[in-house]
Amino acid sequence: MRFWQIGIRNLKEIYRNPVLLGFLLGMPVAFMLVFIAAAGGGQASPIALRIVDEDQSQNSTAFIQILGSVDAIEVKEPIYSEGSQAQADLRDGKISLYLLIPSGFEAAAQAQQTINLELVYKEADPMIGLQVKPIVEAVGSEFLGVAPPLNVELKGTESRIKNPAVNFYFPGIAVYGLMILISTAAEIIAGDREKGFLSRMFTTPARPWDFILGYSLPFIPVLIVSTLTYLGVGMALGLTIVGNLGYAFLIFFLIGLCAIGIGMIVGSLVKSASQAGVSWLFIVPMAMISGAWFTVDRMPSVLKSIAGVLPFIHGIDASRAVLSGSALSAIVLDLYWLAGWAVVLFAAGIALFRRTMVS
Amino acid sequence: MNAVQTIKLTKEFDGLVAVNGVDLEIKKGELFALLGPNGAGKTTTIRMLCCLLKPTRGTASILGYDVVRTPFAVKKLIGVSPQDTILSERLNCWENLALIGGVYGLSSDEVKERSQALLKTMGLVERSKDQVRKFSGGMKRRLSIAMALVSDPQVLFLDEPTLGLDPQARRAIWEYIAQLKGKKTILLTTHYMEEADSLSDRIAIIDEGKVVALGTSQELKTSVFGMRNMVVSTGNLTAEVIADLHNKYSRVAISKEKLKISHKDLDFKEIVDYLHSRGVTVHSAALEQPTLEDVFIQITGKQLRE
């Protein structure tokens, strides 16, 4: 049980250190507050959406009605019947965004064919389009997947997510928060090596595995407490959990294990606690390209492929999907990917940390 | 069986010889000091004995257990207080002691009992529940020594136990170490002569990785080299006389009308007669026992203090 003594010591060194805790818990919570407030928070004013209905069918009218029932957007009258009018108004600055329902919408819907909806926004304000796009997509896919009449049922499904901004931002910021464990683990390990604490402990009868367990297990309660804190704050801010919370927790747990593994790698490679700061050079860009803070739908494909190989984007996408109601089958590949990374990173972390013990 | 035994113990770092063929035999219960300037190889020697560094050549054993082949047997027998005071900063005294005690496999009752006694001996009871990062250097050092003792080790390594402490804190630690004398085998490294002089049973003077002298403090100062010091208080020394003295004797130092002459088999009368013959007034003259520093300078030609 020597590892237990070492582990308890490390846990105390973490939870008694306000700076480490501030980064681990305070920063992600602050990010949630700021991002969600910036997105309008609970009192978000709906985005004005103009609609061009070129189809002029029963189906298109029903679709417009459903769009109108979504809290986050406000469908403005009058409905254009031709795209050119809307385009002119957009150019003149009278409107900033419109959705074009092409002719053939009803026919395509009935034939179950692909329908291309166009969301046209002012060049100067691309964010507005990005904000509305997922809403239109969600409503559209629900609408097209169900035969008419559909109003009652659809309203129910859509209204379950009370605040789309929170459900969008929460998973990204939670994953970013767990990525901070990289720096925590790296700093503890590198610091103890730099100050000679590990050397001192190596003169005791503790064995290599006591150190490996003693320097990895304590991060697991930290990871659990962090996840619960983020979830608590997220729910207080209006996070709607439609899907299975257990799967979401599992995803966050695997992300946390990946982060601890990377932290052990960095902590074993750098020479001092201050050098462990290099982990931020990894954390911030990875969080960015993994879509922790904003949507990465339009990111160049090179960055997309890099992000796709790494675990974090899978954690964000899968937790976002599962919190919003996706079934396990939709995220199972992400889970495998995350579990694989967790095993690889932990093993590499242990191998490198073990190497530091042999002189 | 010796408590500590090294045979031709050598450590090289990238071709640089830090410890060069050191032979030591430390008996059980002995307090043995390694005295030498910074960089002499004292800490490297200790690190090899604590299984932190593998010797390049030679062997070392603690109570018969080889440090390379049976490191975990060795680690169970030793307690180490490293040169830099290394504690778990956000733990209090009890928790630091419990960490080390627990790693040595003591039960929590044993840890508690020993910690209580050690904290009392080291004068840390009052602050025992404070996080140690708030402690002074002296308090930290005392706790560090207590941590080396909590497992009740048979062999204790104290690497520069008073380095960087003020004289008062240093004296307090000397008192604690003196209390342990005879109860434990202690290997202490220091570059303070007074420390080695007042505490140790035997001293090895180490320089550039080699043991250059070995013996009790008294042996080192007198019988081995026969060095004697004479201090003369004078009024009118001339440059000529000083030059003359420099030629005749191993070491001549002058400060504030005081002349200090060191030489093997120094003859008191001969010097006084010589000074009189050159018309130098002698207010007083006395023989002094040489210090370990004199011994060190005599052997290595270097000052011990930086």
Encode pLDDT of A292-314 as tens digits.
888 777 788 888 899 999 999 99
Does the beta-carbon distance from B53 to A17 stay under 8 Å?
A: no
- Distance (Å) from the C-alpha of residue A1 to the closest C-alpha of chain B? 8
Whether residue A292 is found in the same domain as residue A326: yes
CB pairs under 8 A between A and B: 66
Q: Which residues of B touch A200 (CB under 8 A)?
A: 80, 82, 86
Whether residue A313 is found in the same domain as residue A172: yes
User: What is the per-residue pLDDT across A208-263, written as a single tens digit (0 to 9) for each?
Assistant: 899 999 999 999 999 999 999 999 999 998 888 888 899 999 999 999 999 999 99
Considering only CA atoms, which of A119, A91, A99, A117 is closest in space to residue A50? A99
User: What pLDDT score does A135 carry?
Assistant: 74
Q: Please give the C-alpha separations between residue A348 and each of A209, A259, A340, B37, in angstroms, as whole numbers.
A: 14, 12, 12, 42
Whether residue A256 is found in the same domain as residue A288: yes
Residue position matching structure tokens 């026969």: B226
User: What pLDDT score does B253 carry?
Assistant: 84
Delimit the CATH 3.40.50.300 region(s) of chain B: 4-217
- Pairing verdict, β B251-255 and B78-81: unpaired
Give the whole-number percent of chain B exceeding pLDDT 70. 97
Tell whether A305 lies on the interface with B, counting CB pairs under 8 A. Answer: no
Does the beta-carbon distance from A16 to B75 stay under 8 Å?
A: no
Q: Encode A224-293 in three state secondary structure.
A: HHHHHHHHHHHHHCCCCCCCCHHHHHHHHHHHHHHHHHHHHHHHHHCCCCCHHHHHHHHHHHHHHHCCCC
Q: Which residues of B touch A8 (CB under 8 A)?
A: 99
Distance CA A26, CA A35 (A): 14
Q: Which long-range contacts (CB under 8 A, 24 or more apart) does A337-342 make?
A: A337/A311, A338/A251, A338/A254, A338/A255, A338/A258, A338/A311, A338/A314, A339/A254, A341/A254, A341/A258, A341/A310, A341/A311, A342/A254, A342/A257, A342/A258, A342/A261, A342/A311
User: What pLDDT score does A152 carry?
Assistant: 26
Whether residue A69 is found in the same domain as residue A118: yes
User: What is the per-residue pLDDT across B157-197, written as a single tens digit (0 to 9) for each?
Assistant: 999 998 888 888 888 888 889 988 888 999 999 888 888 88
Strands across the sheet containing B57-62: B16-26, B4-13, B57-62, B65-66
DSSP E strands, B96-250:
155-159, 185-190, 202-207, 210-215, 227-234
Q: How many domains does chain A have?
A: 2
Distance CA A247, CA A319 (A): 8
- Distance (Å) from the C-alpha of residue A239 to the closest C-alpha of chain B? 36
Secondary structure letter of residue B132 according to DSSP: G
A262 near A180, Cβ under 8 Å? no
Nearest to A2 among B80, B90, B103 (CB): B103
Whether residue A231 is found in the same domain as residue A340: yes
Using 50, 70 and 90 to split pLDDT, how confident is the model at A44? low
Whether residue A219 is found in the same domain as residue A319: yes
Delimit the CATH 3.30.70.100 region(s) of chain B: 227-288
Burial of B213 (0-12, 13-18, 19+ CB in 10 A): buried
Distance CA A327, CA A336 (A): 15
3-state SS class at A355 = helix
B216 near B204, Cβ under 8 Å? no
CATH of the domain at A100: 3.40.1710.10
Secondary structure letter of residue B110 according to DSSP: H
Distance CA B26, CA A286 (A): 57
Does the beta-carbon distance from A196 to B86 stay under 8 Å?
A: yes
User: What pLDDT score does B241 carry?
Assistant: 86
Q: Which residues of B touch A211 (CB under 8 A)?
A: none
pLDDT mean across residues, chain A: 84
- Pairing verdict, β B78-81 and B155-159: parallel
- Pairing verdict, β B155-159 and B185-190: parallel
Of the three residues A129, A159, A189, the one that is the final residue of a domain is A159
Range of the domain at A265: 2-39+163-357
Q: In this model, does residue A289 exceed pLDDT 60?
A: yes
- Distance (Å) from the C-alpha of residue B85 to the closest C-alpha of chain A? 9
Distance CA B234, CA B242 (A): 12
Using 50, 70 and 90 to split pLDDT, how confident is the model at A153? very low
What distance, in Å, lies between the first and last C-alpha atoms of chain B?
37
B28 near B201, Cβ under 8 Å? no
Residues forming a β-bridge with A288: none
Distance CA A277, CA A23 (A): 12
| Stated pTM of the model | 0.76
CATH architecture of the domain with range B227-288: 2-Layer Sandwich (3.30)
Query: Of chain A residues 142-171, which have a CB less than 8 A from chain B?
Result: none
Q: What is the DSSP string of A196-227?
A: THHHHHHTSS--HHHHHHHTTTTHHHHHHHHH
Give me the CATH code for the B4-217 domain, please: 3.40.50.300
Of the three residues A132, A159, A186, the one that is the final residue of a domain is A159
Of the three residues A140, A159, A178, the one that is the final residue of a domain is A159
Q: Please state the rounded mean pLDDT for residues A282-295.
A: 89
- Distance (Å) from the C-alpha of residue B77 to the closest C-alpha of chain A? 9
